[in-house]
Amino acid sequence: MSNQNKQSDSPFNPEDHSHRRYNPLSGEWVLVSPHRSKRPWLGQEETPAPLQTISHDPKCYLCSGNTRINGALNPAYGHTFVFTNDFAAVEQQKRVSDGINHALLTHTPVAGTSRVICFSPDHSKTLPQLPKESIEKVIECWQNQLNELSQEWSWVQLFENKGAVMGCSNPHPHGQIWATDTLPTEAIKADTNLKAYYEEHKRNLLLDYAELELELQTRVVEQNEHWLVVVPYWACWPFEILLLPLQPVKHLNQLDRAQTTSLAAIMKSSLTRYDNLFNCSFPYSMGWHGQAFTDESQQHWQLHAHFYPPLLRSASVKKHMVGYEMMAEPQRDITPEQAAERLRSCSTVHYSEQ
Ligand code: H2U
């Protein structure tokens, strides 16, 4: 067990040698092991699940005109439909703590609201399968929700769990909104790091990052006039992507018409690439991070969306964030540059239409 830290004669090459990458948004590190992508695979291989085919399921709680679990009736909606989650994670009512706090047993009351957004009446069409105009309706719905909820709550988290493997409880394409009176952990991390960068450089971290990625082009999956999709340098999940506006934007409800239309276009093509990667409805958790709705200055903020998909090698072979990831820090084999190349090579025509 000697020579543990032996210096190698060959120069360091991030495409071949183990290294750690820093995530300036979260302040955390990821271990990258590119040499391991060459090892033989001994994991599971399964047949992918078939796509949904029926556009209205009489048993679905989210389909138009159906009755939900608690007996409420969904209207015959034409585009999107939003309702308050029948099993909301946060209560509307603000409560005062009893004050029984201990340094080791700390709590704080949270108030807020949870809503569900049905993306369209079509039970069988996930976001990449919807026409661009319908994706634009989803974005407009997000914008309207932000306009309304920002009047009352400091943080509005828009997100989607796609696929049963991500804990999605209903196949009808939908997302969620949880709005709270306090900033959650991920929001605090992003806020702190964006602010620190702004204070040090008097520049916006994510605008600088977008500029750098556009220049390098090694991790870019796709770009248009207003948006950029990259596998970030610090990605943890094999095919993680970061969706960034190219102009300063604090949140989705500040987009103009042209930015909204081109967001629908880039979402459709990028998410189609995802589905085409392993010929399956690609699961992920995605969410938007934008400014907090507080009185504090938000000049350091820049809107962005994270997509965290678990798949690694096929429609069923996923990455597990276990062991070293749980006990030490996230680790990946395939590099973000290789992942971006794989996604770039995927068609933007959905495999179900080819
Ligand atoms: P997920 O698939 O990401 O779990 O979101 C679906 C949400 O829909 C879930 O939080 C809610 C669940 O509580 N729901 C209702 O509010 N009413 C229903 O009748 C079915 C599901």
Q: How do residues 264-291 score in pLDDT, each as one tens digit?
A: 999 999 999 999 999 999 999 999 999 9
Q: What is the mean pLDDT of residues 41-59?
A: 74
| pLDDT for residue 9 | 74
Q: Is 14 a domain residue?
A: no
In this structure, of 7-11, 63-67, 300-304, 328-332, the range with the lowest mean pLDDT score is 7-11
The boundaries of the domain holding residue 349 are 184-353
Query: Which ligand 1 atom is at minimum distance from the Cα of 160?
Result: 3
247-268 per-position pLDDT tens digit: 999 999 999 999 999 999 999 9
pLDDT of 154 over the 80 cut: yes
The pLDDT, as a whole number, for residue 7 is 73
At residue 103, the pLDDT reads 87
Atom of ligand 1 nearest to the CA of 114: 10
pLDDT value of residue 138? 98
Q: From 134, 155, 180, give the residue that closes a domain.
A: 180
Q: pLDDT digits over 174-201, tens only?
A: 999 999 999 999 999 999 999 999 999 9
- DSSP 8-class letter at 294: S
- Indicate whether 212 belongs to any domain: yes
pLDDT of residue 354: 84
What's residue 21's pLDDT? Answer: 98
State the pLDDT confidence band at 5, using cuts at 50, 70 and 90.
low
Cα-to-chain-centroid distance, residue 233: 16
CA of 115 to the centre of ligand 1 (A): 9
- Nearest-atom index, ligand 1, CA of 168: 2
On whether both 175 and 190 belong to a single domain, the answer is no
- How confident is residue 46, by pLDDT bands cut at 50, 70 and 90? low
Query: Is 48 part of any domain?
Result: no
Strands 28-32 and 331-332: parallel
Probe target for ligand 1 pocket from 85, 123, 178, with the most ligand atoms within 8 Å of CB = 85
Say if residue 44's pLDDT is above 60: no
pLDDT band at 210 (very low <50, low <70, confident <90, very high): very high
Q: Quote the CA–CA distance of 354 and 346 in Å, as a whole number.
A: 12
- Same domain? 140 vs 190: no
Please give the Cα distance from 348 to 128 (Å, whole number).
Answer: 10
Residue 46 lies in a domain: no
Q: CA-CA distance, 18 to 195, in Å (whole number)? A: 31
Are 220 and 346 found together in one domain? yes
Last residue of a domain, one of 180, 215, 230: 180
Average pLDDT over residues 217-242: 98
pLDDT band for 2, please (50, 70, 90 cuts).
Answer: low
Q: Output 95 or 275, whichever has higher pLDDT.
A: 275
In a domain, 163, yes or no: yes
Q: Does one domain contain both 292 and 336?
A: yes
- Strand order in 28-32's β-sheet? 19-23, 28-32, 331-332
How close is the Cα of 187 to the center of ligand 1, in Å?
23
Structure token pair of residue 318: 């996923």
Three-state DSSP class for residue 244: strand
How much is the pTM?
A: 0.95
Centre of ligand 1 from the C-alpha of residue 161, in Å: 11
Q: Are residues 152 and 198 in the same domain?
A: no
- Residue 98's contacts (CB-CB under 8 Å, 6 or more residues apart) are none
Both 111 and 256 in a single domain? no
pLDDT of residue 47: 60
Residue 55 lies in a domain: no
Residues 95 and 210 both lie in one domain: no
231 and 89 housed in the same domain: no
At 18-42, the pLDDT tens digits run: 999 999 999 999 999 999 877 655 5
Which of 166, 170, 172 to mutate for ligand 1's pocket (most ligand atoms within 8 Å of CB)?
Answer: 170
Q: How far apart are CA 111 and CA 113, in angstroms?
A: 7
CA of 276 to the centre of ligand 1 (A): 27
Domain count, the chain: 2
Helices (H) then strands (E): counts for the chain: 6, 12
- Which residues have a catalytic role annotated? 174
User: 204 and 348, same structural domain?
Assistant: yes
Residue with tokens 């450089």: 201
Task: State which ligand 1 atom lies nearest to the alpha carbon of 169.
Answer: 2
Atom of ligand 1 nearest to the CA of 72: 19
**pLDDT at residue 40, as a whole number:** 59
Q: Give yes or no: residues 349 and 213 share one domain.
A: yes
Enumerate residues lining ligand 1, CB below 6 A: 61, 68-69, 85-87, 116, 161, 168-170, 176
Instruction: Quote the DSSP letter at residue 316.
Output: S
Q: Please classify residue 182 by burial: count the beta carbons closer than 10 Å to its beta carbon, then call 0-12 exposed, 13-18 middle and 19+ buried.
A: middle
Tell how far the Cα of 116 is from the centroid of ligand 1, in angstroms. Answer: 7
Percent of the chain with pLDDT over 70: 94
Give the per-residue pLDDT at 3: 57
Mean of all residue pLDDT scores within the chain? 94
pLDDT score of 41: 53
Lowest mean pLDDT among 48-57, 161-170, 196-205, 284-293: 48-57
Q: What is the CATH number of the domain that holds 345?
A: 3.30.428.10
**Whether 176 and 191 share a structural domain:** no
pLDDT band at 93 (very low <50, low <70, confident <90, very high): very high
- Measure 183 CA to ligand 1 centroid, in angstroms: 23
Flag whether 141 is in a domain: yes
Percent of the chain with pLDDT over 90: 86
The verdict on residue 175 lying in a domain is yes
State how far the alpha carbon of 261 is from the alpha carbons of 228, 297, 307, in Å: 14, 28, 20
The last residue of one of the domains, among 121, 147, 180, is 180
Is 230 in the same domain as 267?
yes
Rounded mean pLDDT, 71-96: 95
Residue 101: its pLDDT value, please? 75
Output the CA 144–ligand 1 centroid distance in Å: 20
Atom 11, ligand 1: residue with shortest CA distance: 85
